[in-house]
Structure 1
């Protein structure tokens, strides 16, 4: 095996999260194959309508590895080829002008196409086609392993182990997007400032459900609750099962008031939903601003304080940490700055 190819495989399989895996995979492909453009499309919340996001979009400008990374975005107009590749898990080739070709390669996990690799390239040789297929299978297998390690086995939401990495990357992408907008030549329309928030959602009196009906029934309630979260919040929001009956939401909103409205809509949806085995379910929610300059432990601690204020004051309510501080209902106290937790 060529030493460069072997090194590429080693680099790919050294990754421990899907985002890093996809970056390494993309770089390996454009180094080994004469690519003009490479896109990794991912299926998002596939239970209902097909929603697709371009996680990686890489343009190669010359043979000296001059790359342009485009921002991830949701696909508004899904091409027939991309749609067919996702729906029927089929490999598609199109010939273009000047000996170029484009192709769509399905990545299948558990009999479902979870991703598609799109290539715009110079006509590939037989050896390059074999190499491309091999890289796709490596990506497919390793993605399956990482998906299991990143997601909660019961609910399918992101788990606590991946929390810090995902929140950090979410914050970094948001900051980069804001900087790009500020540096853009198109400044005719002012951009509305969008903040990032972290909310902790706790199921009220859930211990009674386990005590009365058993843990199997309790798991059914948790699974139904997670499905409600997926249905109610946006594809780009981060949803975690943080432990037991505690969940975390990370999302963007212009103000705390607007976020409070969205959270209240979700709380009402939970209140009115018919859960298995129990007559009704309520939730308490505490949320805070996600400041990228703070320790992640301090941010979670603030949301947790707002949550426990909600639970100590009637449950089935929503409170914002910053509002509670302003109203002098809580005292500001963050963990010491010498915490070992990494900064964003």
Structure 2
């Protein structure tokens, strides 16, 4: 297929494979899968040019359920495999599916380097603050006090903040969403439109080992008060517009003010410092910032590699034999066998 070939129109069903979806009943992964399958027809990409790469964990079954190419790789190494896929064929649309344990424990180093290199891909991090596949041990994002088989008296670790980690690693796109929220497809579309590594943290409920851990801001009765959905160029309002986020000029920290206050901030997704502040808002007295927190494109890793290769090879004729014989090769002579 070339760039002039029109892409056949598809539906959500066209992106669903014939494999039986096997997650625990009520798992948030089902909602994310459906959101992705519904979103793909709107992205203008072909199934044969789409690749889903995953590591290890409940979420990492994802490639089996998409009617695309896919790789179910090893623990924490999905970013490395995805990098190889993109470098081998830059025209492919690459998605990485990972979890909080897969991406931020054994895979933390790989995730960091993917982000700082800015490979053109979408990384969806399913964060349920627990190790679900291995039966409920605490994860890098588990909160202090989390009781689990590996922390029966409560975790004493300070949890990692996925979006803070991404920003610290140099991410050029950072977003947050909720597994069952209607805004998830819009976040996925924004991530896909970004040229470079698009990091999306998805709060995903594990009904078996960490049920309702996000209820303080996802429950229907508190959602309006506790969710701040960000939109570029619009005021940071929540609670039905009754409250807003402003900057305290004395302490240079964020504060909650009345929605009609003149100091309510307007969201600028290119403001990296503000993105950090939104990620670090305290859990008490503040809403959770959702949507696209930061979006400021920069040159991609694969583009730099391709440009360098073109420069190095310009004017040169491929000659494998000459390369093999170029000063750093030798012939191994067969020694005569001793009598």
Which interval holds the TM-score relative to the shorter structure?
A: under 0.3
How does the TM-score come out when normalised to structure 2? 0.27
Greater fraction strand: 1
More helix by share: 1
